[in-house]
Structure 1
Amino acid sequence: MKTPRAGRCLRSGLLAVLALSGCLLSGCAAADGTQAAEAAEAFHRDMAGSNMTAACSLLQSETRKETARSSDAGTCESQLEKAKIPDPGKLLSTEQYGRDAFVEFEHDTVFLAQSEGGWRVTGAGCTPNGEEAPYTCEVGGK
């Protein structure tokens, strides 16, 4: 049985893959996703350094609110402490499609969205989920 959070992540992952697929077909991929990759790497550095306040600040506002709501303590920081986000390993690829990006590491996939404040994480700790749904995410997934 899937939890409601898992269902949201699965639906969100499917939407993200469909949006990215549409961009691939229409050629809207940007040539450089460096800033998105830097934001994903910063998120992982903050997580590895147990700086949950900084890691939460790198989440997109709705993702941060959703993360806080899913915590027993009601804070983003407490939920990130419990999240099972793996050490990402080596950066493999970055693809930017308009205001969205997909950063793939050896052991994690991070989804991001561009905002006025720069790139913000919308999904982290995401792993391919085969045929059932494209990705399951520990945090966010939208």
Structure 2
Amino acid sequence: MKTPRAGRGLRFGLLAVLALSGAVLSGCAPEGTEAGEAAEAFHRDVASSDMTAACSLLQSKTREETARSSDAGTCESQLEKAKIPEPGKLLSTEQFGRDAFVEFEHDAVFLAASDAGWKITGVGCTPNGEEAPYTCEVGGK
């Protein structure tokens, strides 16, 4: 992995955690712009209350963890309760191998490439300061 530039260490830190937790798959990664499109699609689905479609955009491990954290035991019910912010304008998309980081005005989204395209591993993420990783409403653990 390349040495991170100043101010980007937090992103790399969480990406490294995701890689160690098995969120990274092997093979060729789709283009980084597709990661941004997946993040935008997730936010559109949440905004239109289509939680089934939103859950389908989560990486399988993230979807399972989200369902387990719900009182009703479903990903959809937990997404309805999560405080996922309105994202605002897409600011940037960065791809690091099979991982991607999409930054919006009011949200940050982490993704991993899969055979089915980009899947979300963390959404509703905010930084915890200079030395700590992001805290996410969904995933990001």
TM range (shorter): 0.7 to 0.9
Counterpart residue identity of residue 108, structure 2: T
Equivalent pairs counted in the alignment come to: 121
**Number of the residue aligned with 1:63:** 62
**Unmatched segments (≥5 aa) in structure 1:** 1-12, 21-29
Residue 72 (structure 1) aligned with residue 80 (structure 2): no
Superposition map of 1:1-142 within 5 A: 14-16=13-15, 33-131=32-130, 133-142=132-141
Identical-residue share of aligned pairs (%): 80
Q: CA RMSD in A?
A: 2.3
Deviations 1:42-63 (A, max 9, x none): 0000000000000000000000
Q: CA deviation at 1:14?
A: 3.9
1:128 and 1:17 map into 2 onto residues whose CA distance is 15
Q: CA contact under 8 A between 1:56 and 1:76: conserved in structure 2?
A: yes
State the alpha-carbon separation in 2 of the partners of residues 19 and 129 from structure 1: 17
CA positional deviation for 1:132: 5.8
Secondary structure of 2:126 counterpart: strand
Unaligned runs of 5+ in 2: 1-11, 20-28
Q: Distance between the aligned counterparts of 2:113 and 2:131, measured in 1? A: 28
2:94–2:101 contact (8 Å) kept in structure 1: yes
Q: What SS does the aligned partner of 1:138 have?
A: strand
Q: Give the partner amino acid of 2:97.
A: G
Superposition TM-score, scaled by structure 2 size = 0.79
C-alpha distance in structure 1 between counterparts of 2:44 and 2:34, whole Å: 15
Compute the displacement of 1:85 (Å).
0.4
Tell me the CA shift for residue 134 of structure 1: 2.0
For 1:135 and 1:123, how far apart are their aligned partners in 2?
9
Amino acid at match of 1:137: C
Q: Distance in 2 between matches of 1:100 and 1:72?
A: 30
What is the alpha-carbon distance in structure 2 between the residues aligned to residue 39 and residue 131 of structure 1? 27
Q: C-alpha distance in 2, partners of 1:39/1:62?
A: 17
Task: Give the direction of change, closer, same or farther, for the CA distance of 1:58–1:138 in structure 2 (3 Å limit).
Answer: same
Judge conservation of contact 1:87–1:107 (CA < 8 Å) in 2. yes
Shift of 1:33: 1.4
Query: Do the aligned partners of 1:17 and 1:134 also contact (CA within 8 Å) in 2?
Result: no
CA separation in 1, counterparts of 2:89 and 2:18?
Answer: 25
